[in-house]
Amino acid sequence: MKTLSERQKLILALVIRDYIDTAQPVGSQHLVEHYNLDVSSATVRNELVALTNMGYLRQPHTSAGRVPTEDGYRYFVRQLMGHTELPDTTKHTIAHQFYQAGHDVDRWMRLAASVLAHQSQAAALVTAPRAEQARFKHLELIATHGRQVLMVLVLSGGEVRQQMLVLAEPVSQDRLSAAANHLNTAFQGMDLNSISAYTGQLDALEQDIIKLAIEDMQHPGDILGGEVYRDGISQVLAEPEFAEVDVARKALRILEERSLLEDLLSRTVLTTSVGGVQVLIGGEGTWEELRDCSMVLARYGAPGIVTGTVGVLGPIRMAYGRSISTVRFVAGLLSDLVVDMHAE
């Protein structure tokens, strides 16, 4: 793969930027007129031919302007776009909204989705923070009715799981409280493995309970936290590439079906370190459902302790600069908030 001349880089960037704005194929004449290049349209045409041969541009039909290919977008994002940041005033406004939301994780998530959707003009996706390698913090047992007991399990990071258990026989609230107290003092702050090692010294009731608690802490295979927050879906469908319903439906399935989302996230952003922003352009040959879409994803939280995912989804012709800077900023903000809450 030959490297591009400076002029080729310039022209490629102009074509892509223009196309992202207008959704119209970009012609040689249009370029020289609007971006006062001091070369003729014929010269530009020659460069366009070169860029087309290199696979960065293509023509929808013989006599239309050029449109970026997926490779073109990838080159643009990696080499041409440079680093963009949201304006400071915007950042402050957003941060202020978060701090006003107090310590309500649910509100943070909704706010994050809303901010992502509005700033990036794409569909937003946020998963709740989830403790990896959860440590036991507190357990509460509440008798509700007969043999039914509500177990509330608090993990490090303030994550709360609740589960209804049905015991073999009715047990009094006093007995439950005693069991909870015992388990709380015994396992305070311990992680999964440590707890598993000590279960021998418990009575039958306590063993049953701690077994369920451990299962809950492992959250097997469930990568998404409990809830997935979405926003801006109806808004992003206004993009012309979703005029064809089938395209829109495929995109929606990604956001709607947990299994798809789980597969997608587990094989992309979960393999990345916190702080890095990952850009998926047009399915990358792996995800059929993403064929007509791009996603910008990032993890937030404290690596190895609690993490979640934020991201946006839009057409391949997406304003990557805005999206990436927004996703990066929101992920950073959430990281601060979550880490702060998690500190102990």
Partner DNA sequence: TTTAGCACTCTCATATCGAGAGTGCTAATT
Partner DNA sequence: AATTAGCACTCTCGATATGAGAGTGCTAAA
Partner in contact with 28, chosen from its own copies, DNA, none, beta carbon below 5 to 8 Å by kind:
DNA
State the binding partner of 3 from its own copies, DNA, none, CB within 5 to 8 A by kind: none
CB of 11 to DNA, least distance (A): 11
CA-CA distance, 118 to 23, in Å (whole number)? 20
Q: Residue 316 region, left (φ>0) first, then alpha (ψ -120 to 50), else beta?
A: alpha
Spatial distance between the Cα atoms of 292 and 175, rounded to a whole number of angstroms: 58
Among its own copies, DNA, none, the one that 61 touches (CB under a kind-dependent 5 to 8 A) is DNA
64 part of the interface to its own copies, by CB under 8 A = no
The answer to whether the CB of 143 falls within 8 A of the CB of 171 is yes
Q: In sequence order, which residues have a C-beta less than 8 Å from that of residue 331 and are 6 or more positions away? A: 274, 275, 277, 298, 299, 300, 310
Choose which of 102, 200, 220, 285 interacts with its own copies (CB under 8 A): 102
Q: How far apart are CA 191 and CA 198, in angstroms?
A: 11
Instruction: Indicate the SS3 state at residue 311.
Output: strand
The single residue among 11, 17, 51, 66 that binds DNA, judged by CB under 7 A, is: 66
Contact predicate 82/43, CB 8 Å: no
**Residue 27 binding partner per list DNA, its own copies, none, with a CB distance cut-off of 5 to 8 Å that depends on partner kind:** DNA
Which one of DNA, its own copies, none is in contact with 63 (Cβ closer than 5 to 8 A by kind)? DNA
> What is the closest distance, in whole angstroms, from the C-beta atom of residue 3 to its own copies in the complex?
41
Where along the sequence are the contacts to its own copies (CB under 8 A)? 102-106, 137-138, 140, 142, 144-145, 148, 150, 152, 154, 158, 160, 162-166, 226-227, 230-231, 233-235, 237-238, 242-243, 245, 248-250, 252-253, 256, 341, 343-344
